[in-house]
Amino acid sequence: MRRWPVRARLAVLVALVATAAGVGVLLAQYLVVAHLLDAQVRTVAVGSGDVTGVVVGVRDTVLGGALAWSLAIVGVCALLAAVAGWWSAGRSLSRLRDVTRLARATSERDLHARLDLPGPDDEIKELGDTIDAMLARLQRGFEDRERFVADASHELRTPLAATRAALEAPLAQGRFPDDVVPDVRRALAANARSAALVAALLQLARGEVDPVACEVVDLAGTVEAVLDGYAERVAGRGLAVTVDLAPSVVRGDETLLARAVDNVLDNATRYTPAGGRVRVRVGTTDGRARLDVVNDGPTLTPQEAARLLEPFHRGGATGAGGHGLGLAIVRSIAVGHRGGAEVAPAGPGAVRTTVTLPLADR
């Protein structure tokens, strides 16, 4: 019965209680009637032995009929009790169904709905009031976050816009020496990338990333393009990088996905000891695109490796720079694209970082 619905269990419980009570009353009635009939049989037997057999037969007939009819009545009463229990439980649990419907329909963009359960001040109403209070707290929290994101957006975009304007105007007027122009153009390109990244990260912070509405991206191509930017670091540190890229088309924000890939590769090439190995693989598994990066490093327990996805946690590696946010951002981007990220040991002296994303519908 543990797997039965609550309503069915309550109905069966009511029926069982009614049946037990009916059987108890029937047993008491049967014993009383039997005692009275036995007393009458003994009285008749004292007067005439010839009538005793007839009286005993009447006694058995009366008790048997009474027992049969009583059992039938108890069965009918049990059925009526089950129906009544089913109806009563349905009325009581209907308010719980309202709680379930609200919980399923609630999202961070729809926190204004409230239950306001009617009925007596019982445990169910107390539960509804508690959920209403929780939703109110969540709504205030998300509104505070929205205000913070709006303020952060202004504070981050203003200096980028000012820097761009300070470079574009003199460049358009030809006030930079020819040998400086390439550097200025690179600075403007970096500024544009930073502005796009800030916009994408703010969009992610607001929870507005909708991969269905974004562009189609080949994850393998993104990894290849980002990896080219690490050629100098790889050569300078003598890293042995092996690459296995298979086309894996996903749907999402190209800027955010490139940032996630860049953070994974930056983490791998930064913390791998000089002369170590980095293995990069992109493929598909179980209908999902999968990026695997395995790099030499310290031997970690599964718990220590998983904590690398937490903000500001660097696993004790303090000498290679970084702020401990790269992999946390990777996880946020992956989750925002209906995917996931994990870090786990890949044997002694190796760490595996995995990012999975749903494949784009063809």
Confidence (pTM): 0.55
278's enclosing H/E stretch is strand 277-285
pLDDT in tens, 233-270: 999 999 999 999 999 999 988 888 998 999 899 989 98
63 vs 171, higher pLDDT: 171
Question: For tokens 């089950």, what's the residue?
Answer: 82
The phi, psi pair for 348, rounded to 5°, reads -60, 130
Burial 61-80 (b: 16+ CB within 10 A, else e): eeeeeebeebeeebeebbee
54 vs 344, higher pLDDT: 344
pLDDT in tens, 286-340: 889 999 999 998 888 888 888 888 766 655 554 444 556 678 888 888 988 889 9
Smallest CA-to-CA distance from 244 within 297, 282, 277 is with: 282
Question: For tokens 């924000």, what's the residue?
Answer: 253
Most confident of 33-37, 270-274, 319-323: 270-274
Give me the pLDDT at residue 213, please. 57
